[in-house]
Structure 1
């Protein structure tokens, strides 16, 4: 759901506390090996096809596999509450039943069959999980009213200003156990590979420290937190949202901040997170698309490409592509009603395929590969860096400005005849100055 208050505790009696002062480990868990050079594609089932079903989406699997997609993250699959429903179909994140499939999308058998087809293609599956709150008519409200925070009138409290959901009370151990049991259900019953946890930043560390080890006893699941608080990776999450970096990217794209401002955020991330924490870099997702017009409003036209390259090649990055970005779909998709996309032009598909293929074939772009910043021109406009691991290197040069920029590569170890990833050929790289166009990008691979 939309991230409204970073690190802000719910101002209600009995609200969750983060537990940042806990004795949690200072290093993240051992990531599933497949995630180190992986990528994620977020699936908005409701809007993906005219039918808006799991079976209809399945027809796109081969296309997405060909585009180099490795992991599919599905927005919540659960039934949606009808009480206080927004729009005609409601929010995905107003869950009515944690252990059922939304009939709008199909059946549990449809989902199980889809997971098998995804795995058959060598791809992974994450589902969106909503632990902070339930929908306004979830069965727990009548069966277990003690599972919920109460407002001043003694009624189940609304979570933040989201009128269609009710805040769960994490002081209740039975509720915690029931939540973990529901998550285990999806792993054991449908063989998913992990969870993207909604509003993870408002769920206490003690819960995650209890939940994640239990899940990993069943399967080495991948855990992605919607949140950027340091306690999340310390509590067992594999990856977090780099919100500060994303917001800085938007400012740079608008010309409000220089490219050098990205460095300060990167250094802040190094101080904030345990070494090895992965971060979900993106130019759009379901919230940013629907509420903030990403990427067509935040990174319009040619501005998008260098930031997409940045999200796919940056240190500690786990890159995300949102449904329709490959088309590209240049509108805000409706959130509570049907608003199907169409996939006809696929104008960015080759662009993303090139980046995914590079990431998959070279350890230099693994999330734990070394990062070295370079100065190859006007640092206020040009952002350049080298990624390196296991004797392999990738050089990235991004013009994050609306003006052409002069580039001079002085590092002798980078000169020679590297492979130009987007040109598809090896080409001479000397110390002589050359120019890159406005919002241009160049990616060289060494040791191919």
Structure 2
């Protein structure tokens, strides 16, 4: 072999080894690859359409005795059993120590995982396990503020300041453990978008739930979402915690349905059942096509600071009935880890806690049946509502093409004889959860919080 051939072979071998990735890492396929990052794993192609999403929120500090990512991985069978196709992880970053209340929303380092939760390999394992089951994973993103000991604090112009040049906490809040970011600073904005992209590439996550989205300018969200969408190897989910209508125009897919949450509480406190339909209609007025409001009977804030569904809706039966109304009326349903087993005490997230996953097997079975049916029913997710007005009973039909389901829920803690709408009289149905035949006459006797989900 002559010198030129040897040289050529060495060059080829050098090129192969220098470009070789580990078995766990492949080059991203998009043309806009960020030069400093390498795409970990295989980009997930199963991100659900917006109106097919079933969200499951995980508070890591309460979800398992270990309080970490491994605890989530170990309960992936449970999460899947609820028909879930998107996991929302609450913040997993290191928590700031200055003025600290130990809130996970006080981020010390946007590109790190707090040791209490594990490490990058644990997050990669979690996304791989979820993706193998057809489940997307989104991270909680805290864009409005950082901890006081985040290294960004050295760039004082990146933060909002008072007239004396002092960095301040977010105006109008009592959040003394965090420093408010200045979105007039382009360098900070670029660093924020870069940090979001880091997790897309390095952990193969599928989007973000964006904390306190109302506190961030529209143009930043628009820029960030557009930039992330240039990573063209998969689809992403963007979920805003906010009330602003312009979030959808900025590119968000989902927004919190606070109006519907307030309505369901009012109804179970004795107000007219019609409120749930009014809130649903008001929410969707002016909402762009294929954008959705998230419906819930609890989340991490409500279960920590308000009350859990067991207390809000008067026990297991009431909590389940409230979920039926919330899930089927319209929007994207959210399950908060623990509600499906009837946790009654408040669930903190500034500290670690545990609850008994085996406490309410019957309630868990009901939630599993409920969401498995919903996940497989196009009419449940996309059907148009025909509302049967009644102040004590939530009742409506959903229609999609030739498919129909009827939902009837007693929202009172008393027996009620419900006079059925004329079009439902003397009709035959199948109970969607028990598979038993149900023959309707002119009246239906309902026990406290009893419900029916009927299919043809």
1:396 to 397, 407, 419: 407
Within-5 A mapping of 1:88-237: 90-142=102-154, 144-159=155-170, 160-218=173-231, 219-237=234-252
| Equivalent residue, structure 2, for 1:409 | 420
Matched, 1:342 2:356: yes
Q: Using structure 1 for the length normalisation, give the TM-score.
A: 0.86
| Equivalent residue, structure 2, for 1:73 | 88
Bigger CA drift: 405-414 or 292-301?
A: 405-414
Measure the CA separation in 2 of the matches of 1:264 and 1:416. Answer: 28
Matched, 1:433 2:443: yes
Measure the CA separation in 1 of the matches of 2:396 and 2:200. Answer: 39
Measure the CA separation in 2 of the matches of 1:161 and 1:222. Answer: 30
Q: Which has the larger radius of gyration?
A: 2
Shift of 1:189: 1.3
| Equivalent residue, structure 2, for 1:38 | 53
Matched, 1:62 2:77: yes
| Equivalent residue, structure 2, for 1:264 | 278
**Contact 1:54–1:110, Cα closer than 8 Å, also in 2:** yes
| Equivalent residue, structure 1, for 2:259 | 244
| Equivalent residue, structure 2, for 1:372 | 386
Task: Find the residue that maps to 1:128 and give its secondary structure.
Answer: strand
Q: Which runs of 5+ in 2 are unaligned?
A: 1-45
Higher helix content, 1 or 2: 2
Q: Which runs of 5+ in 1 are unaligned?
A: 1-30
Structure ranking higher on relative contact order (CA contacts 8 Å, 6+ apart): 1
Measure the CA separation in 2 of the matches of 1:229 and 1:32. Answer: 25
Shift of 1:417: 2.4
Alpha-carbon spacing, 1:65–1:270, altered in 2? closer, same or farther (3 Å): closer
Q: Using structure 2 for the length normalisation, give the TM-score.
A: 0.85
1:298 to 287, 312, 319: 312
**Contact 2:50–2:253, Cα closer than 8 Å, also in 1:** no
- The alignment covers a number of residue pairs equal to 405
Measure the CA separation in 2 of the matches of 1:298 and 1:121. Answer: 33
**Contact 1:222–1:238, Cα closer than 8 Å, also in 2:** yes
Shift of 1:272: 4.5
Shift of 1:414: 7.9
Shift of 1:105: 0.7
Measure the CA separation in 2 of the matches of 1:392 and 1:136. Answer: 55
**Contact 1:91–1:335, Cα closer than 8 Å, also in 2:** yes
**Contact 1:354–1:422, Cα closer than 8 Å, also in 2:** yes
Shift of 1:397: 0.9
Alpha-carbon spacing, 1:199–1:346, altered in 2? closer, same or farther (3 Å): same
**Contact 1:363–1:390, Cα closer than 8 Å, also in 2:** no
